[in-house]
Structure 1
């Protein structure tokens, strides 16, 4: 039996021998049990019913879905498997072209951009971005101060504004000034529209192509204007991502990125930057609002670390926010904003004993990987202590993959993690968040997982005096790195 691959646009038929949803229909496949509005949560439901590997089929499309940790242990082997650009990723290429996320493995601009941009995500680069990140969080705080004791705040909307402003200011020197407007910046609407378009069936994409083309043209015009203004400024520095892309040559070749590719990279960072950080923060605030003991621990740590700095942590202090980092890691485990990554076979091989031909590809369903039995009992429970150093050491590393894997994993993960840790600590230091009575978590899929309709009522709190040796920040593990 061979797993799915593309050959002349078709998949190998043998995959139908794998477990598949009940009630499959001729031609229509699994539409009877599919959930078009929430396809990834539908895939999670199928995984619970069918196990760690299954085959799904819809009109014009089919895929093999993997979530078992043992199978993922094979898939993360870079000598056997590589990133696969398909299942909606390739449909997003009109927006981001051969940018880091949507480039095919054999396209030269991926390696060129990776070499040029890696130094822009180093620890020293994070130190340069810290001030801009801090300024953007302070804008959010200014907005939230005005709503303390008043109406509930739209958490996802405000976290999206924060994330978009941060990547714009810190990465490209462009200020979206999101908190000066009542609604989200039009760029966000365009990004969400194109993300949704990319995950539709081929027929649905064809029907919606004109509207999508308009959104793409708008995004390209906006980014091209940002680049044009920077070039006209004659700034030759490399202090941010745009400066690095405009002014850095690849070592050994002297090559630089084209203006077209810079456009694609900027849109890649904007989309990935807003979705990942906004989702991570929104889910973290949701879980803290429903777990009072975890909230108290996180606030106590924020008070200990931020007390001496008046609520604005230095770059070095962010690394001390270890429990808050564990809160974010656990939120990413349960609801990773990007819920899947794709792998393809580099050569003829096997997966879980199934023959798999070169080019065959599978979807790794990250939320279900993060619920594999290797995580212990009650995998649905929110427990930041899963990320204590000793727990991390006892668990296989491949069981946690919120940022993908291998050479093509998310290059900006340190940026997102530093920003989110900084922001969450400052918010918990300043506010007592209260969830809306009766709210039940509903996860939306507008390109990224988000807690739909989640709102908070805010009350200003009085930070507690630091308590020496509380133990909250003890230990150093993966969750401590920034």
Structure 2
């Protein structure tokens, strides 16, 4: 005997979408978890979503023999910039995922992640020093600084490249473009397609943010090619690594997509 998955009441056509906090969606999901338990179902524009809210269920759905990776509406929007990268690939249809996965998995071993610790501390120290020098009278925006912290740390740990966000006024152009791009991707995922089509100014800015993001990825790759380093970071693995099963390496486009994918994904998870 099965137990139906609980679901909150919805409104016609919109489902439960209109009730989700647009600024901090997590607040709405946490409230629903308290009301309906560790698993519940939402209707969003006619699409059914199953939400899980416990470590035990996360462990269960991580069993690759019983469950497979799905592409959420938000991720489909993000694909406009990074295509079939690790977190956005449509598995098993897009086989580039398997090659990238096997090449990059060693980069996330316990030892390699431990070796990133000093770089992480480096970036955290920059942020704390900035706050200290501002003094007690100067207000800081934690959301902006923690976004910079995340992206600067990923850039340094994964690609040995310094964005130096804490040494400039305002947000780094890459951080600003990515923040705006991800925000609009999320809005597109929850917006009717015809509405998005009519928003020409928003669409133009969306494309411009993609261009800015990928131009920085291009700059990082060109800098590494012109100035090789001995450190075996994630970028080195992407440039030099070979898949043990196929003998193939990542293509130029594959490297660019996977060099950019960790930034938007990590930023979104924050």
TM-score by length of 1: 0.48
Task: Identify the structure with the greater helix proportion.
Answer: 2
8 Å contact 1:117–1:244 — kept in the other structure?
yes
> Deviation at 1:60?
5.3
> Deviation at 1:55?
3.0
Gaps of 5+ in 1: 3-16, 276-336, 339-447, 449-482
The structure 1 residue matched to 2:213, chosen from 219, 223, 233, is 219
Q: Greater relative contact order: 1 or 2 (C-alpha under 8 angstroms, separation 6 or more)?
A: 1
Counterpart for residue 246 of structure 1? 239
8 Å contact 2:163–2:172 — kept in the other structure?
yes
> Deviation at 1:68?
5.6
RMSD: 3.0
> Deviation at 1:202?
4.4
Render the CA deviation track for 1:281-308: whole Å, top value 9, x for unaligned: xxxxxxxxxxxxxxxxxxxxxxxxxxxx
Gaps of 5+ in 2: none
Counterpart for residue 104 of structure 2? 117
Counterpart for residue 256 of structure 1? 249
Q: Does 1:49 align with 2:35?
A: yes
Which has the greater radius of gyration?
1
Distance 1:149 1:102, change over 3 A: same
8 Å contact 1:198–1:205 — kept in the other structure?
no
> Deviation at 1:28?
3.2
> Deviation at 1:257?
0.7
SS of the residue 1:54 aligns to:
strand
CA distance in 2, matches of 1:163, 1:137: 9
The structure 1 residue matched to 2:260, chosen from 252, 261, 267, is 267
Task: Identify the structure with the greater strand proportion.
Answer: 1
Counterpart for residue 169 of structure 2? 182
Distance 1:112 1:146, change over 3 A: same
8 Å contact 1:100–1:265 — kept in the other structure?
yes
TM-score by length of 2: 0.81
Counterpart for residue 162 of structure 1? 149
Distance 1:156 1:199, change over 3 A: closer
The structure 2 residue matched to 1:90, chosen from 41, 63, 76, is 76
CA distance in 1, matches of 2:55, 2:150: 31
Render the CA deviation track for 1:1-60: whole Å, top value 9, x for unaligned: x9xxxxxxxxxxxxxx854333x3332333563433433322333333334443322335
Q: How many residues are paired up? A: 261
Counterpart for residue 228 of structure 1? 222
SS of the residue 1:56 aligns to:
strand
